[in-house]
Amino acid sequence: MKTIDELLAEGVSGKRVFVRADLNVPLDGTAITDDGRIRAVQPTIAKLAEAGARVVVASHLGRPKGAPDPAFSLAPAAARLGELLGADVAFATDTVGASAKATVAALADGQVAVLENLRFNAGETSKDDAERGAFADALAELADVYVGDGFGAVHRKHASVFDLPARLPHAAGFLIATEVGVLKKLTADVKRPYVVVLGGAKVSDKLAVIDQLLGKADRILIGGGMAYTFLKAKGYEVGISLLQEDQIPVVTEYMERAEKSGVELVLPVDILASGDFPDLKTKAPADFVTVDADKIPADKEGLDIGPKTRELYESKIADAETVFWNGPVGVFEHPDYAGGTRAIARALLNCDGFTVVGGGDSAAAVRTLGFDENAFGHISTGGGASLEYLEGKTLPGLAALED
């Protein structure tokens, strides 16, 4: 895989360099609520511009239906990128049409442009190779060189991620190089004890990674909505908590495998439970009770791990040499149910080992709760991509960058 340093050494001045970034930031209307992904790719874009490249930045945002939708415009992200670069950033109002062609043609050496949301074109995400390839052909006409730096999308077989690199000389940006380096530390020559914290809503989203980690991790700590399927598998009452009953057999099997292989699979011992889901807009005070994990009332829903579980999980993380955390362990968006997720983040900060926050909602939680991002070993920009890498899958966007 060619690095951006090698690309820069060859010279990019005057060349049109297509950067597949991940500018898929959360928006409240047109206001960006977390610009972490833009800041993560900014060093690659800045270095290329500094070297005299004519930088064409492209990304997706959200899940539009293959057609323009103002709610998913990348205009706010382009404006924020300009602020971070301290320079004007041109914005094309389409992907490969008249605006894109004119905007790219107008670039001078060292200037940057952002194309509109790639998913406004159905060819970007098409499962039909020919349709996807036709869109990649059109994108290739806008550039001389391809740089892949959208780690959050490398697990997608999309035109700009998988097909376009085959049509242009290509290299990996700084962000992808960093992300892959970190993930190798979690899969090869891992320093132990190796502790994994898994949260989030659906246990089905994490089964494949648990399957892999049962042979690699020393401890797996379970929280979030997915925990209730594990608790139900132990025969506990979980009330109206999130539950995937169809996953109980495989969860039971994993608990048995963990015990046989000597992996600590740690479940919550107490829960904050309520009969009402919290109001996440007004953050009105929540009405909850703290109960033992095997005594959740039939009419209540578990919404966060309790104080005893927080202490237990902190103790399980304290001596770790490597920690990977993916998924909040409670409804962190509400202050009354943020305590568990805050405790996990604090435990990572207090740990002397190498700590990785695995993107997605975990990264959002760290920022929302006010933690210093630089205090963690690494905060990933791609939750889904990180998980699939740990599952041992081949990621299309990384495979496409290999020579």
Catalytic residues: 37, 202, 360, 384
What burial class does residue 163 get, using C-beta atoms within 10 Å of its C-beta: 0-12 exposed, 13-18 middle, 19+ buried? buried
**21/78 Cα distance (integer angstroms):** 12
DSSP of 333-390, one letter per residue? TSGGG-HHHHHHHHHHHH--SEEEE-SHHHHHHHHHTT--GGGSSEE-S-HHHHHHHH
What is the rounded distance in angstroms from the CA atom of residue 24 to the CA atom of residue 39?
12
> If you search the block for the tokens 């090869």, which residue do you land on?
188
Q: How many CA atoms lie within 13 A of 206 on its CB side?
A: 30
**SS3 at position 307:** helix
Burial-class residue 307 by CB neighbours within 10 Å (0-12, 13-18, 19+). middle
H or E element at residue 17: strand 16-20
Maximal C-alpha separation, the chain = 67
**Six-digit token string for 249:** 């057999």
